Amino acid sequence: MLEDDSAPEEEEEEEDQDLYVTGDESTDKDSMAKPRRTRTSAKVKKPVKVKKPVKKEKPAKVTEPTKEKEKIAAEKPKKFKKEIRKRIEVDYWRTDLHGKKIGIRQKEQQRARSRQFSKDMDLYGAVKIGSEEAGNVGYRETEMEDVKEGRLKRLVVRYFSEKENWVASLEEDTIKGLTRTIMHKQPLPSFNIFNAGNENYFTLECLRKLPGMTMRMVLPIILDNETNNIEFFVFEKKRISIGSDWKVYRPEEKEMLIAEFDSKKLNIGGKVVIDVYDPVLVNNKFFMSTLILFGGLLKFLDAVNDTLMDFAKKYNKKELSFTPNKQERELLLNPRRFAR
């Protein structure tokens, strides 16, 4: 006869159900006297829940691009506060009857002090740095008015100290300006800047103006004759302004304004106020004289642009031939020929 195997299987099932029983079974006499409780009647204690430790969130790993951005931010120079280190004023006279312009003797004395004060030099504005008078700006009348056939009107602005000594000049480079104006069909003037005490000259030139962009001019200049390092500066016209307002900055530090130009159109005759913010450049004579020349240029900039466009149209129609003047032809000479 076959044996019934159901009882052992039931015991195994019950043992599996007793996994969480924590009471100890007694083996003393009292426990032997009392009837034994069945497994079904025994009180089962609830399992003690063990609190799991709270997992602390691990800080997010810093990716390489984030580290690179932090490094760039640390290396980036702080933006200049708009603290005015120096204020320059170029005040255009409202009439030609100014004390420094009246009389032949006065002009002869001015010419004796500086060879740059030519016969056709016409002073048109006073320069003030801070509260001190700092000289005058003038331009060559014959270069702008008495122009021969085939010649382009050419602006020459010169800055003289209060003692009437020549400090710096800005001369239009009609060859470069006309070349770019013809190619791009928009006025792109170019100017050469000469400074007393600096044997080099530097070119302030207008870049091609793309649609939606404002007029910008770039100047490479050596500010220290000992190091001969070239620095670059951008002169950019502001989008929204009443007059011809400009800002100056380095191309690699666009947010750090070095100087600002504010043209006071409501002033009789015209006036340009220049605020300089850079604490180092404010003490550089070449940079400061360049700002003064640019302030003098703003009086004529619209006329220069109109002349370039008019001449370029006539040249393209073969109505005019172009002959640069003597001063510009001298700049075309090969300097190495004289160095030998």
- Does 158 have pLDDT greater than 80? yes
**Pairwise CA distance, residues 179 & 156, whole Å:** 19
pLDDT the model gives residue 104: 46
Q: What average pLDDT does this structure show over 223-246?
A: 86
Taking the model in full, what pTM does it have? 0.71
pLDDT the model gives residue 93: 82
Percent of the chain with pLDDT over 70: 66
pLDDT the model gives residue 61: 57
pLDDT the model gives residue 12: 45
Domain segments of the chain: what residues? 86-333
* Residue that has been written with the tokens 């021969």 in this structure: 148
Cα–Cα separations (whole angstroms), residue 301 to 61, 165, 215, 248, 277: 56, 25, 11, 17, 24
**Pairwise CA distance, residues 188 & 174, whole Å:** 10
pLDDT the model gives residue 289: 96
CA nearest neighbour of 206 among 223, 194, 191: 191
Q: How confident is the model at residue 13 (pLDDT cuts 50, 70, 90)?
A: very low
Residue 105: phi, psi to the nearest 5? -60, -40
**Most confident of the following: 67-76, 191-200, 219-228, 264-273:** 191-200
At 183 the three-state DSSP class reads helix
- Cα dihedral 293/299/304/307 (nearest 10): -160
Mean pLDDT computed over every residue of the chain? 77
**Pairwise CA distance, residues 82 & 275, whole Å:** 9
